[in-house]
Every structure is written in C-alpha cells, then in structure tokens.
Structure 1
C-alpha cells in the first residue's frame, strides 16, 4: 500500500523548497510521481466602476497574476532541480481568477493520492492559500499533508500521533493515512477527554487500534485529559512529548465558516503546527 500520484500546488514562492523537498522524499520512498502546479491568481472583484476603468483593472490584475505564476513556476522548477535526478515529476502553470481557483485545484487533486501543501495561514499567506487547501480537501476529496516552515524531518515518519474522537472525519483520516501508518515504528492513537456515555466509553480508541493492528500497524492508545484550553494545544504538546514526526487528524469537523469565525482544532493546528499534519475530510 503506497501513494503513487502526488500533487503540490504553489500560489507563491513562500515555502516552496520545504514543501517540494517533503513531497519529493515521499515520492522517492513510495516510487511515486510528483505533479507540481504553479498558480497565478487574479484577486480582483470588479463591482461598481467608471466606464472603461474595469477593463484596465482587469488587464493589470491579469498581468500581475501571470507574473506570479511565472515566479511560482520558477520556484517549483528550482526546488525540483535540487532533488535527486531519479525523481519523476512534472510542472504546470495556470492563471485563474480567485472565484475559479477551487475548480482548478480540485480537478487535479481528484486524481492524486496525496496533496502536499505548505501551511495555509501566516503573515506571508494570502486568501488563496487557504482556498487551495480547502479545494483539495473538499472538492478534490484528497488527503492533504501540510508541511510546516521547518520542513519534514523524514519522508517515512517513524512516530505518528493519530487524533481520534470517534468522528467520521478522523476515521477517514486514519484510513487515508494507512501508507504512512504501516511504515511507522509507533502510532499513538490519542483520545482527549472521551465522553463517559459514548459508544466507546469502556475502551476509547480500542476498535480503531484493533483495525490498525490487523493491518500490521504498530498502534497503541493514549487517553489524555484536556488540561489546556484548546484541543490543538494538547495535541501539539503530546507531539512534542513523544517527538512525533507527523500528526494525523480529521479536517473540519465543524463547518468551515464556524472554524473561520470561532476557531477549531483544524484551524488552530494549521496556524502554528511544528510537525507535518495529515488531514482528510
């Protein structure tokens, strides 16, 4: 079991080298092909304007988007060129309006086993970075590996934290991450404050652990108390305590609108993650 078709998307030059290096390492370890997409995004939203001015604004915005696409493509080519010559890869460049970005990314993510992206949040990130991540997850129906600015320690993570809350999203994430889980030396299923009256009240995480072990995964369960304000804080601390190489979790258990306004474990994790985060919805 392995990923055979990988995709990475760059809407800017920020974080390209770290993301491509991580994706290339996984591709080499699993004998996969890496597709890279450079995006130039027209962010203009033409509303009311003077007669004739709209065309000027659109033309200027498209010129800027084309320049950004060329910069992103050059960064992708440079990053791929820094990898081993045995890497099988291809680079494509696309210019799109922000409103059509979802369709562009989803059309490619649907035919990829894994999408590798940089952190979508931060001072240097734009609205298009979050849009790319959500397009791959929701419309592309692909698992997404988010690579932090520090990069990925190893293309075959040896110690993995698997966040489990009995939700559909976390189960999908566990199944989609199986190629990583089966290669790991230790997979710790972390359950935080399990409900006392839930279906797994007598054995939190036990059935998932059984499923993984039957697939040859070296899994164990760790039940933790919520001793910090946010779930993401507990997960981040546990990842540091066990020196984890990767965190696997279900993405957006609440609506994206609620996560954007009120916050949620997914957004909180992606805003400050120190380790690669594997997401699936």
Structure 2
C-alpha cells in the first residue's frame, strides 16, 4: 500500500506553506495527487443574532467568508503550481457548526489527510472540528503536523503507542508505508493488562504482524510513572529519538476527552513530533 491521494484543508493563510510543503513532499515520494480544500469559515452561529437583525450584517459575514476562500485558493494554487506534482483545489464556505460535513465529503476519498496541530495560542477554532471530521466522518488516517512545520519524509525511528484498541490497529495499518521504511519501530505498551490472553506477551501479536510486513520491531513495556499517558509517550519518544508517533485516536468519546482529558487530546496539544492518528 502507498499513499496515492493526499488531502488537506486550508482555513488559515499562515498555515498554508507548511501544510502544502508536507503534502507535496509526500506526493513526490509516493507519486501521489494533492488535493486542497480551501474553506472560508462563517463563524456566526445560528441564533446568535436577535430576531430582525439587519440582513446586511449577515450578508457581510458571508461575503467575507467567500473572500477568504478565494484568497486561500489563490495562494494554494500559486504554491502548488510551482511544484512538480499533480494537484487540485476546491473552495467553499461553511459555518463553523457545519464544517465537518464539508470536510468529510472530501476527506473520505483520500488515503491520508494532512492537517495542522489544532490547539495553541495561534490556532483558530475550526481546526479541531476539521480534524475530528476527517477521523470520524471521513474515516481516514490523519497526519498531524507539529507547530514548527517540520516536514516528515522518511522517519528513521517510529514510536507506536499500543493499547490493543481497534483505533490503534487502524493507525498501525495506515502507517505501514512509513513503518516499512523505518530503521526502528518501537511498540510501546504502558501498564499492560494483568489479565487476558496477551498478559504474558504484551504487544507480541502486533510485532508478529508487523514483522510479516517487513517491519523491524522492538517492544518497550513501560510503567505509567507520570500523571498522563501522553507524558509517558512523549518522554519515551524523546529518549529514543523518535521522528514520528503512531497512535489510535479517541478511544474514549470526544465529549469525555474534552471534559476530562485523554491521551488523544493531550498528544494533540503537546506533541512536538508528527503524529499519525486513525479512529
């Protein structure tokens, strides 16, 4: 398997160069097609204005969103047109509350979605629903680019955060093109279960599966010595000089993670490395 269709959603002009640099780098490597959806976001919410509000105010927000979409598409076309890759763009306008439907309709026909880290001081509100739409409605793996815009090409060392969940297995399968090329893949198991069929060999079946795919695998069993699982993963990634993290996304509900926290949200907030996620 190789990535033949790469997709990205552009809503912020400041993030366009980094996202398209990553997309075109992988496109050249895998002889893939790059598709960019340029979305102008209407951030007004239904019911926000009182009844009888001036229609000109509502029209102004819509006009501004269309102008944003046109600007994003022009900039994306300029950058992609200078690259030796196959590419295409589409543009549109979406309300913040309805953005997921537009993203999913495009994302589900791609092999890999490339998106920015959604949380941080300079990150706008639509980045989170865009990422979740790709994962949940689009059912496509997402490569999350860190804030320093580091471009991932051929990671030498990959950390797989393994917890035996379907989400994690989906991420591993989606990451196979990267895993096969890596010099070292570390399957990290944190506090393995003391009961069940895999208690005596945590990560053993996954390492067997990956070995048959031509992947060089090591298993690291760790204890949760820090308050959050993500902190343990990140510390081990730094200690092992990993270039990339592969993990399942939202094993718990999005609502639970938004309120109580969870490994997915923590990684999206803190990870300085590219993260490949799948649900």
Quote the offset at 1:71 in angstroms. 3.2
2-structure distance, mates of 1:18, 1:50: 40
Quote the offset at 1:12 in angstroms. 0.9
SS at match of 1:47: coil
Unaligned runs of 5+ in 1: none
1-structure distance, mates of 2:49, 2:110: 41
2-structure distance, mates of 1:167, 1:218: 21
Aligned partner of 1:36 in structure 2 is 36
Contact 2:143 2:274 in 1 (8 A): yes
Instruction: Choose which of 243, 246, 262 in structure 2 pairs with 1:245.
Output: 243
Quote the offset at 1:102 in angstroms. 1.1
RMSD across aligned C-alpha pairs, in angstroms? 1.6
Quote the offset at 1:149 in angstroms. 1.7
Quote the offset at 1:99 in angstroms. 2.8
Contact 1:29 1:156 in 2 (8 A): no
Contact 1:162 1:189 in 2 (8 A): yes
Which has the higher mean CA deviation after the structures are superposed, 183-192 or 53-62?
A: 53-62
Aligned partner of 2:222 in structure 1 is 224
Unaligned runs of 5+ in 2: none
Quote the offset at 1:257 in angstroms. 0.3
Contact 1:46 1:54 in 2 (8 A): no
Aligned partner of 2:113 in structure 1 is 115
Aligned partner of 1:45 in structure 2 is 45
Which has the higher mean CA deviation after the structures are superposed, 253-262 or 124-133?
A: 124-133
1-structure distance, mates of 2:159, 2:61: 43
1-structure distance, mates of 2:35, 2:149: 19
Q: Which runs of 4+ in 1 moved over 3 A?
A: 48-52
1-structure distance, mates of 2:120, 2:190: 27
SS at match of 1:14: helix
Aligned partner of 1:152 in structure 2 is 150
Quote the offset at 1:127 in angstroms. 2.2
Instruction: Choose which of 87, 90, 100 in structure 2 pairs with 1:89.
Output: 87
Quote the offset at 1:199 in angstroms. 2.7
SS at match of 2:236: helix
TM-score of the two chains, using structure 1 as the length reference? 0.94
1-structure distance, mates of 2:255, 2:221: 30
Mapping of 1:1-281 within 5 angstroms? 1-47=1-47, 49=49, 52-81=52-81, 85-281=83-279
TM-score of the two chains, using structure 2 as the length reference? 0.95
The number of aligned residues is: 279
